[in-house]
Structure 1
Amino acid sequence: MVKVIMIDPHEPHFVAQERARQSAFFERYLPGEGGFEGSAYRLAPANRLSNLNPAIRNIAERYFSDNAIAWHQHAAHGLSSQVCCLNFLMPLATRPEMLARLVQSALGGDLPEMLEVEKGPDGEPWFVGFEWIGRKDYLNEWPRTGSPKRGANVTSADAILRFRQAGQVETLLVEWKYTESYGAPPEPKREAERLRRYQNIAFAPFGPLLSNADLKLPDLFWEPFYQLFRQQMLASRMQATNEEGTERIRVLHIAPAGNRRLARVTSPALRRLGDNAFTVYRALLADPGDFLSRSTDKLFRPLMADVSADDSWANYLSKRYAFLTDTAATSLDEVTPA
C-alpha cells in the first residue's frame, strides 16, 4: 500500500527551518561572512567557495573550471541544492567503496563495482561526475554554434555514477534536491519550444513515458515533473545509444525526508492519479523501475555512522545539515517504493 503524505498546516515550513539552521552554521563556522543583503543564510557571491566543505573548495573550483561547468546563480546561498550535492558527493569522488555502499543502499542487490566517470583535476579517476549532459545533443537543446555548458541552459544531471552490478554496467543520473518546492504554472510562451524539442522523444517506444491517450506532454511542464522527465529522457537516450558501454541508465532522485512539500502534485491534470508527485511520476513511465526516489537521510546516515570519528566528510555534513538527524519526518522511500 502506498503511504500518502499528509501535511499539517501548522507544521513548521522546511525552508524556514533550514534557513535558521544555515544561519546558525554560518554564524558559528563562517563568522562575518553571512548576512548578504540582510539574510544571515546568504554569503556574498564572491565568497561562494566558503559555502563548500573546506576539503573540496579548491578542487571544486578547478573541476568546474577544467570542465567549463556553470556555478548556479545562488551558489553562495546556504540553501543551494547544487552546493548541497557537492558537499555530500564530491568528497566521495575518490572513495569508490563508499559510493558502492551508497548505490547498494539505493538499489539493493550485491555490492557494485564502481567505474570511473571521468578524470579529476589532478588526473586521478573520479567515480562521480557533476552537472552531466551526456556526450551528444540527445534532447535537441545544444546551441547551434559553440559548445554546450554543463549546468546551464541544457538538461544537466546534478551527478552521475557508473558501476557494474550482477555483471551489468549501469549508470545513475542523480537529481538532487534540498529545500525546493513548486506550484507556479509553466510559462505558456515556452510551450511551443518545449513541444518542438521533446514531443518525438518523450513517449514510448522512443522515450520513457507511457504512450497514453490521456497523457499530454504539457501535463508534465509543471515542476517537479518537468525536470524529472527531462532527466528521464536524457537517461533513455543515453541508454539507447549505449553511451560508454552502459546497459541500463536510471534516474535517482534524492531529497530530505522533511521536505514534504516537494512531493505535492502540482499539475492539475495529474492530480487524479494520486497525492504524491513521485508516486504519480513513476506511474507515467513505461518502465517504472527506471526512476527511484530516496531520502537523503536514509541513504547517508548509515554511511556517516560507519566511518571513523575523525572523518572530515561525515563531520562536516553532521554539523552543516542537521536535518540528517531529524527522526519524525516520513521517508521518501516509504512513499515511492522501488
Structure 2
Amino acid sequence: MNTFVNAERTGQSKFFAESEPGYGGYRGSAYRLDPASFERNLAPSIRSAVPAYFKQKGIQWHTHSNHGLSSQVCCVNFLAPLVLKPKMLARLVQSALGGELPTMLPVEEGPDGEWFVGFEWIGGDYLNESGKSGLRSRGANATSADAVLMFERDGKRETLLIEWKYTESYGTPISPNGNATRLKRYESLVLSPDGPIRADLGLVLEDFFWEPFYQLLRQQMLAFQMEKAREYGADIVRVLHLSPAGNSALKAVTAPRLREYGSDFAAVWRKLQQLPDRFASMNISKAFAPLLQAEAFPEWATYLKARYSNLFSEPLEVSQSI
C-alpha cells in the first residue's frame, strides 16, 4: 500500500474523530462519514453554499463524496472558500504561474453572488462527447476540469483549468472496452496543428491509454480547443495540475511509450506539448503557501492545516495580509 495513502487514512480518521464525532466509521472505516451526512466532509464555511451550487449547476458528486480521501472534496475544501475572494485567488494564480498579479474575472453565478471559481468545468463540446442526446453532465461522462479560474493579465484574457489530485496513483492501462469510441471521438484532435501534442514524435492516441496520461490528454485537448474557439474571450487556456508533494507514486510515467521522455509524468507531459507553457504542475503546498501564510482568512487556513497537514511539505508561518 502507498505509504502516503496510509498516512492520509490515519490523518483523516483522527481528524473526523476529533471534529465530527459520531459521523465517521461508515462500513468500518474511520475515514468515511455516514453518506447521509456527506456535507460534513466539507469545510464548515461551505457546507451550505457548495451543495446548493452543485444542485444549481446540475453537477454530480463523485461516488465517494463521504470519503475523507476524496480528491473532489479536497479540491472543494481548498478552493470553494475563496469563490468570493478574488484578491486571494489572484495570489494563487501568481504563485502557480508566476508573473504579475492578475485581475480575476467572475466565472459564473453562484447561490450567493458571482463566483470567481467554477467546479467540474466542461466547456463547450469540442471533443465530440455529447452523443445522440446532445447533452453532457458536469462531473460525469465528459471531459472536465476539477476547477476553473478566469483572469486578465498583460492585456490578455486567460482561462486556467485545474486538475486536482490527492491520493491517486496509477499503473495499469485503461480498459480496452470503448477504445473504438475513444478513437472516433479524439483521434483527429490529438496531434498538432489540430491538437496539443507535437506531431513530430510519432505518437498515436493509443500511446496515451494509461492514466494519468489519458485524463491529461483529454484536458489538454479541451484547453487547446477552448483557446482555438476563444471561449469566454480567452486568448490563452492552460491546464494546471496540483497534487501533494508527498504522493510520489503519482509521478510515475505509466505509459510505456512515453518512458523514453523521462521518469516524472509532469516533465514528460511538458515535453510532448506543442505549446509547453500551456501546462503547469505544482505541489499543493507551494501553490497555496502565500495564501495560507496570510492573516486574511484564518479560519480557512486553520481548517486546511488541521485536516490536510500531510500535504504541506514545510512549516507555514504567518506573513503579510492579502
Q: Give the TM interval when normalised to the shorter protein.
A: over 0.9
Select 1:132's aligned residue among 121, 124, 141: 121
One-letter amino acid of the counterpart of residue 299, structure 2: S
* 2:205 equivalent to 1:217: yes
Partner in structure 2 of residue 260 of structure 1: 248
C-alpha distance in structure 2 between counterparts of 1:194 and 1:129, whole Å: 27
Output one character per residue of 1:166-191: Cα deviation in whole Å (capped at 9) or x when no partner: 11100100000001000122212222
Shift of 1:213: 5.1
* 2:305 equivalent to 1:315: no
Contact 2:92-2:290 at 8 Å conserved across structures:
no
One-letter amino acid of the counterpart of residue 121, structure 2: W
Contact 1:301-1:324 at 8 Å conserved across structures:
no
One-letter amino acid of the counterpart of residue 273, structure 1: Y
* 2:274 equivalent to 1:286: yes
Secondary structure of 2:58's counterpart equals: coil
Select 2:90's aligned residue among 78, 95, 100: 100
Contact 2:104-2:150 at 8 Å conserved across structures:
yes
User: In structure 2, do the counterparts of structure 1 residues 146 and 45 end up closer, same or farther at CA, with 3 Å as the change threshold?
Assistant: farther
The 5-angstrom pairing of residues 1-338 of structure 1 reads: 13-122=3-112, 124-134=113-123, 136-145=124-133, 147-212=135-200, 214-308=202-296, 311-327=298-314
One-letter amino acid of the counterpart of residue 75, structure 2: C
Partner in structure 2 of residue 335 of structure 1: none
- Percent of matched pairs sharing the same residue: 54
Secondary structure of 1:170's counterpart equals: strand
One-letter amino acid of the counterpart of residue 55, structure 1: S
C-alpha distance in structure 1 between counterparts of 2:94 and 2:139, whole Å: 27
Shift of 1:312: 1.6
Shift of 1:146: 5.6
One-letter amino acid of the counterpart of residue 306, structure 2: K
Shift of 1:44: 2.1
Shift of 1:241: 0.6
Secondary structure of 1:212's counterpart equals: helix
C-alpha distance in structure 2 between counterparts of 1:74 and 1:184, whole Å: 22
Shift of 1:15: 0.5
Give TM-score, length-normalised by structure 2.
0.95
Contact 2:242-2:283 at 8 Å conserved across structures:
yes
C-alpha distance in structure 2 between counterparts of 1:25 and 1:146, whole Å: 43
C-alpha distance in structure 1 between counterparts of 2:28 and 2:200, whole Å: 49
Structure 1: 5+ residue stretches without partners: 1-8, 329-338
Contact 1:297-1:323 at 8 Å conserved across structures:
no
Partner in structure 1 of residue 320 of structure 2: none
Shift of 1:78: 0.3
Secondary structure of 1:125's counterpart equals: strand
Shift of 1:142: 1.3
Contact 1:160-1:172 at 8 Å conserved across structures:
yes
Output one character per residue of 1:161-212: Cα deviation in whole Å (capped at 9) or x when no partner: 0000111100100000001000122212222111111001111101101113
Secondary structure of 2:118's counterpart equals: strand
C-alpha distance in structure 2 between counterparts of 1:150 and 1:173, whole Å: 14
Partner in structure 1 of residue 319 of structure 2: none
Shift of 1:14: 0.5
C-alpha distance in structure 2 between counterparts of 1:302 and 1:323, whole Å: 18
C-alpha distance in structure 2 between counterparts of 1:127 and 1:47, whole Å: 27
Structure 2: 5+ residue stretches without partners: 316-322
RMSD: 1.5
Output one character per residue of 1:59-112: Cα deviation in whole Å (capped at 9) or x when no partner: 011100000000000111000000000000000000000000000111111110
Give TM-score, length-normalised by structure 1.
0.90
Output one character per residue of 1:305-335: Cα deviation in whole Å (capped at 9) or x when no partner: 1124x7221111111101244339xxxxxxx
